[in-house]
Amino acid sequence: MRTLPTSRSLYLAAVNAVRRSREWRTIYLRKKAQGKTAKQALVVAAVKLLHAVYAMLKHRQPYNPSRLLVAPAPIGS
């Protein structure tokens, strides 16, 4: 199976974020603690990175690391 260049770029950006940022490392380690493999945890970080970039562009807001670790609202409330 062939990997798209954008997917590869996102994955490598997630690897870099996990290595250098405390917030992204927390996300990665939390997923590892839930039983995910290293690659699965990095893919989760890559998707979250994509969502963060999209939100920054959509709302024209600067990067705010405090929004990364906010727990999602429970379904049905």
> What pLDDT, on the 0 to 100 scale, is given for residue 60?
95
> What pLDDT, on the 0 to 100 scale, is given for residue 5?
86
> 44 pLDDT band (50/70/90 cuts)?
very high
The whole-model pTM stands at: 0.82
Mean pLDDT of 6-31: 94
> 64 pLDDT band (50/70/90 cuts)?
confident
pLDDT, mean over the chain = 89
Rounded (10°) angle between helices 5-20 and 38-59:
100
